[in-house]
Amino acid sequence: MTVKTRTPRPAAKKVAKAPQPVVTVVDTRHPRSGLSISYRVTVDTVERAEVIGEAGVSVGLAARFTIQAGPRQRPVTIMASRLIGEGEWYADAMTERGGRVHYSRGFGNRRGVPHRLLPDLADVLTLCAYDVRGLVEDAEPGRPLKLRKAKRKAKAAAEA
């Protein structure tokens, strides 16, 4: 026996769309060897980051992107950062698919030998940072990074 009832179904909730990754091809010349290389770059995220660590509070931009030199090359995922007052992007971690880790540092760690990104890759990240509304005030290459003030709700500010 089947009983039909009329129950109002709740309306489907509107789900915010996740930002689509930015995919571009970057032609660059390696600074040491002069070799011209073409990379397929997929930028997943560029966001504001604040981390409390041994050196104090690090505030700046954090980015996650994947580069691939050719169709038969393994893609490499890079976590990069640019702190307030810096003019360059630096790689914090680099991993391959399958779990191989080339190097891994914390966000904004510049101890030892920091890995500076190639200028053309850094330009892609800077353009993606400008695309996020209300995030960056100034992020031109070679000039100090300036972030916009983070708007906090009064309740969150009262708790802090």
> Could you tell me which of 73, 72, 51 has the C-alpha nearest to residue 62?
51
pLDDT value of position 17: 56
pTM of the model as a whole? 0.73
CB burial string 54-73: b at 16+ within 10 A, e below:
eeeebbbbbbbbbbeeeeee
pLDDT band at residue 63 using 50, 70 and 90 as cut-offs: very high
- For 110-148, the pLDDT digits (tens) are 888 888 998 888 889 988 888 887 788 877 777 788 887
Q: Is the pLDDT of residue 41 over 70?
A: yes
Torsion angles phi and psi, residue 157, rounded to 5: -70, -35
